[in-house]
Amino acid sequence: MTASVFALGRFKLHHGGELADAKLVYSTHGTLNDARSNVILYPTSYGAQHTDIEWLVGPILDPSRFFIVIPNMLGNGLSTSPSHLPEGTPFEVDHIDNVVAQERLLRSLGVETIALAYGWSMGAQQALHWAVMHPERVRRVAALCGTARTREHNIVFLSSLESALHADPCWDGVRFTDVPSRGLRAFARIYASWAASQAFYRHQLYKPLGFTDLEDYLVRAWEPVYRRRHPLDLLAMLRTWMRNDVARGQPLSQALGRIRARTLIMPSQTDLYFTPEDCADDAALIPGARYREIPSIWGHRAGNPSQNPSDARFIRAAIEQLLEEP
């Protein structure tokens, strides 16, 4: 594994404004072949940095065959983020900006064609943006537990997370004057209630993971995930997620109809915010797309099954099949 920094310089944003001295931090795995045709692009998801999702390299994505590039999305604390900038600096980033930055990175590596754009959650949103914005350059897409447009019920979930942070006494309307401990605690509990399914909690699947009870699970499995990120970065990524829409004012059918890649849309059967119904609606609008549900009670987390071997096997088989197709 190699972690590197790609300098973007003065980077103009889709919604206006620009970032000065912007950077994209990324990691790579495997070897780029002579034809530069074996690239898998694997963008990060909400709150994650490349080290959080590299577990999948090997068990699901094969670095002996492919050159796997994991770009950290803008706002995640490694690539340029609000926590790096002077207080009050506007940071209105969406996935168009992420794709533009990633495209510049790949060009710097001499890469024209992506063998597979693979993503989970916000990573799936970026993969679908790639397929719409550069249909001639993306051969395959695997979008796990993510949609081409953020639906209204999903925005309600995201708004509740935003409200939890804004309700902390440390928030003064512009910045956090201290660590928003109350807000982060509420944030983690809201996230935990949506990310896993009702059946996950009914069967207490957290106990085999080493947690003694529900409170222990919430405190040790969820709170540290978000406490290690700057709250301004958490807010910025929420807003990017809320703005997710490959159509940009067009009919969604028109935008998704431009995709030429062999596309696999793979939701979890029990995902509460990227629902199977929403994912199926997207798949129906993508020419030739295959729709395949992960038969899991792990909810949204089924698409990132680092602690769930059965779902990992299911995903690996589907990805192997997709990569064998011309």
Integer CA distances (angstroms), 11 to 20, 25, 84, 241, in order: 6, 15, 15, 20
Strands 116-120 and 39-41, bridge-based pairing? parallel
Instruction: Catalytic residue, from 79, 81, 121, 268: name it.
Output: 121
Mark whether 134 is an active-site residue: no
- Token digits for 317? 């088989």
Nearest Cα residue to 286 out of 322, 253, 313:
253
What gap in Å lies between CA 13 and CA 260, rounded to an integer? 26
Strand partners, 57: 61
Provide the H-helix boundaries in 30-142.
50-53, 95-108, 122-133
**Catalytic position from the list 94, 271, 281, 311:** 271
36/52 Cα distance (integer angstroms)? 26
Phi, then psi, of 19 in degrees rounded to 5: -105, 130
Q: Look up 300 and say whether it is catalytic.
A: yes
Query: Which listed residue (29, 81, 300, 311) is catalytic?
Result: 300
Rg of the Cα atoms in the chain: 19
Pairing type for strands 116-120 and 140-144 reads parallel
Active site residues: 121, 271, 300
